[in-house]
Amino acid sequence: MYAFIVYLRNFLYDQNIFKGKSYDTKTICVGNLSVGGTGKTPMIEFLIRSLKDAKKIAVLSRGYGRKSKGFMLANPQVKVEDLGDEPYQIVKKFPEITVAVDADRQNGITTLEASLAPDIILLDDAFQHRKVKCDYYVLLTAYGKLYVDDWYLPTGNLRDSKGEAKRANIIVVTKCPKNISEKEQISIREKLNPKSGQKVVFSYLEYDPKLKGGPEEMSLGEIKGRKVTLVTGIADPAPLVRYLRENGLEFEHLSYSDHHFFSDREIEMFLTKELILTTEKDYVRLSGKIGELYYIGIKHVFLSNGKTELIKSLNLD
């Protein structure tokens, strides 16, 4: 039933019975076909770093889990509850760019164009939002959890049809092993079966060697031997857990659902722990509420010439 509804909706857009809207401002969509865990926010951050010096950038997100309504533009006084965790994380990391949230992407783009006239609008998690016709689509799929091997909700994790991958300009296979072989990359490309002209590139997650957020930066080695509690409220904590264990860290892991807003009772429980380690996305929801709290940052690193291929293919000149 879910698959049929998804198919019907896309069919109506493909036949122009439902119509998407194009905009004068260049729009770049970063999204996936699954319910999460592919690394969309780090990809948005990668694009910001790559483009912000040459272009006036705005980021538009739905602001999942926020308590505000309608269009909201980030400002120095904004709270995480107003924007949602991922937009708030971007605001704190890149205060020089514009960040806005609006569940109505058409209204959000129109408002940004009228008030700020950015050169580029990055749309976070908007692959399924077909009311907007973007100029460029970056589709993410996680290594070991490729969309071609998945199935629709609730049996699997797909929220959109596998066939909609045809709309992507580039497919990024994220969370790969650093040492993934060329042979395996070729095998994955064949499995994804990209259409003519559609690029497939590969990336892995690189973890920041320094833990941030606490009174002073520390390395993983400096917290070994202490009673560490890892707190995660993300879609797929497995790569982080694996990375920490591979680096010899022993810890208790408290796992919560993606975008989880922590209750007062949970905060009280965290206060009984010696040291809390968390993700950057969770940190913005816990900061100021817990004493010794650190987060570990991540970023996408592309294999081979994937970074160059992605940036060149955006056709920004």
- Cite the annotated binding site for ATP by residue number: 34-41
φ, ψ for residue 205, nearest 5 deg: -90, 130
Q: Could you tell me which residues are beta bridge partners of residue 158? A: 34, 152
- In 39-196, DSSP assigns E strands to 57-61, 72-73, 98-101, 120-124, 136-142, 170-174
List of long-range contacts for 181-190, beta carbons under 8 Å, 24+ apart = 185/303, 188/143, 188/146
Q: How far lies 72's CA from each of 29, 41, 107, 244, in Å?
A: 19, 19, 11, 37
**Could you tell me which of 71, 68, 57 has the C-alpha nearest to residue 28?**
57
Alpha-carbon distance of 188 to 142, in angstroms, equals: 11
For 215-248, the DSSP string reads SS-EEHHHHTTS-EEEEE-SS--HHHHHHHHHTT
Cα–Cα distance between 273 and 30 in angstroms, integer?
37
Q: Please state the residue numbers annotated as binding site.
A: 34-41
Q: What are the two backbone dihedrals, phi and then psi, of residue 133, each rounded to the nearest 5 degrees?
A: -95, 105
Q: Give how far Cα 207 sits from Cα of 43, 179, 221, Å.
A: 14, 16, 14
**DSSP strand pairing (98-101 vs 72-73):** antiparallel
* Residues whose CB falls within 8 Å of the CB of residue 4, separated by 6 or more in sequence, listed in order: none
